[in-house]
Amino acid sequence: MTSSPPSKRRRKGQTVDTESPSKSTLTQDNSSPLIVFAHGAGAPSSSDWMIRWKEMLKKALNAVEVVTFDYPYMSEGKRRSPPKAEKLVDFHTNVVKNAVAKYPGHPLILAGKSMGSSCMVTGREDISPLLIVCLGYPLKGMNGAVRDETLLQLKVPVMFVQGTKDGLCPLEKLEAVRKKMKTMSGLHEIESGDHSFKISKKHLQTKGSTQEEAEDAAIQAIASFFTRSLR
């Protein structure tokens, strides 16, 4: 049975994509996760990238819902630089709380593209995710410093998906941080992928593979990590 088409509910400074619970959704058991998925700095939740990954996450993890939203600076319709992630946490926290209230009892997954402040939200009161999914974590700051403070404070399992050619997250630096983290973490590398996991056509031709196959492998790695987290 197909789900009801998504509807958009707009509040002041906020766009949230929600799906009206269909009969198939209501019959899902409580092991089906609720995913709150934050966009990155430069593109809204309506971007092709976000829509594609939202659909892949929902299918692979059999999610009861994947909630996406726009931070206020993005939904205002003016092209401007995003504020620091710390300034987005309160807004993000409210989105998560509203989603959890709608689907109580389901495991919560916080997912974020790059800047998405999912890791920071995890430390907030009454926010208890089963795990965090970081899609292109921006470990390296503009001045070259390693931004690992938030990661080192986490007590929730974290799954990283990183392109091997992502200049914002040198993998050797990420590996060093993972060794210091207090919690379980996983890493899936997208070979030759950039910050948004885009792989050059030349590399794909050499390997005889496709962009879709590379992203599907990443999604399956996330699904496996989720399954292990349930045990």
**Cβ pair 197, 215 in contact under 8 A:** yes
Domain boundaries 34-75+82-230, corresponding CATH code: 3.40.50.1820
Residue pLDDT tens, the chain, 231 long: 444 444 444 443 443 444 434 433 334 677 899 999 999 988 899 999 999 999 999 999 999 999 999 999 887 766 567 777 778 899 999 999 999 999 999 999 999 998 766 788 987 878 999 999 999 999 998 888 999 999 999 999 999 999 999 999 999 999 999 999 999 999 999 999 999 999 999 999 999 999 999 999 999 999 999 999 987
- How many residues are listed for the chain in this entry? 231
Q: What does pTM read for this prediction?
A: 0.85
3-state secondary structure (DSSP) of residue 18: strand
**Cβ pair 60, 215 in contact under 8 A:** no
The pLDDT value recorded for residue 171 is 97
Joined together, the tokens standing for residue 60 give 């692979």
Residue ranges of domains in the chain: 34-75+82-230
- What residues does 38 pair with on adjacent strands? 69, 112
- Measured in whole angstroms, the distance separating CA 213 from the mean position of its chain's CA atoms is 19
The pLDDT value recorded for residue 46 is 95
